[in-house]
Amino acid sequence: MQSYLKQRQIYLTENQMLAAKSSAASTKKATLTKTAQQVVSNTKTNLDAYQALYNAVANGSKYANSAKYGSVFNEYVAKSKEANNANDKKEVKSATLADIQQQIDTLQDSLSSAKVQLEELQDFDDTKYSVETNNTKLAMLKNDQLSEVAEKRMKAEQDLRTVKADIDSLTTQSKSYTIKATKAGVLHVADNYRGAKYVSSGAEIAKILPIIKQQRRVNVKLYISTADISSVKVKQAIRFKVTRNVPKPIILDGVVTKIGVSPVEESKATFYEVTAAVPITADQAQLLRYGMIGQTAIITGKVTWFDYYKDKVLDNN
């Protein structure tokens, strides 16, 4: 834009100077002829380009991006792709052809006018010729600037559509990588996925555990040695005692609800996993946390005090 304004000012200054002087007629006529011929050549080049562009749009053929006015063809293709149906595409095509035809008509008029000017050189006034030459240059400069601005505007609009399409694509993709829980709770991530950067599709990477403060029953997981598991039965009473990291010991009573069918390895030893259901009060729920460790006693049988002491005296098992 700065270059255009400077050049425009130069032409205007020259016009003021040319109005006060004149030069040899032959020199100016030669200059006029050269300028007029250049105008004819440029106008014909632009006219040929617009006619080729019109044929490409009308016939649905290809048009090179590097060709003159390639941005106009790209704009037409982009609008056609955005059209929702055949009628919309037809309207886009008709509007584009009408705009191109308008440019063709204008250029044809300009070409005819330039040719007439070449034929009227003999009657051209020297000073008037010089001024009008500059005016012609001014018009050409203005048209070139407008064409450049129009092409930059079209390119900016194309870039904007591309950016918007990229944003829409990223927004759609981000939804595929977002995991949302169906309910509130405590997130427990599987140990083998902690810190992992990549996870295969469909893998179970976490569980949502209930909020203990809102529960009135919890499950206690017990690890029973293989030597003692034979004496453990479902519905047997248990007592679970937590003493670590609590202001006072927490004692919970419950019953065995599930016994593992096979042993598991835990801390380099083999145990059976036993689950017990334990009712809790609201106060106890405030103190309990997932992962708390404590001591458990399982009541495997009951005897009277008399039988107990009799067995002790007789040393019966």
Q: HEC string of the chain?
A: CHHHHHHHHHHHHHHHHHCCCCCCHHHHHHHHHHHHHHHHHHHHHHHHHHHHHHHHHHHCCCCCCCCCCHHHHHHHHHHHHHCCCHHHHHHHHHHHHHHHHHHHHHHHHHHHHHHHHHHCHHHCCHHHHHHHHHHHHHHHHHHHHHHHHHHHHHHHHHHHHHHHHHHHHHHHHHHHCCCCCCCCCEEEECHHHCCCCCCCCCCCCEEEECCHHHCCEEEEEEEEECCCHHHCCCCCEEEEEECCCCCCCEEEEEEEEEECCCCEEECCEEEEEEEEEEECCHHHHHHCCCCCCCEEEECCCCCCHHHHHHHHHHCCC
Which pLDDT tens digit goes with each residue over 190-215?
A: 777 777 777 777 778 888 888 888 89
pLDDT: which is higher, 17 or 297: 297
Res. 122 pLDDT band, cuts 50 70 90:
low
User: Whole-model pTM above 0.75?
Assistant: no
What are the structural domains of the chain? 2-176 (no CATH), 211-314 (2.40.30.170)
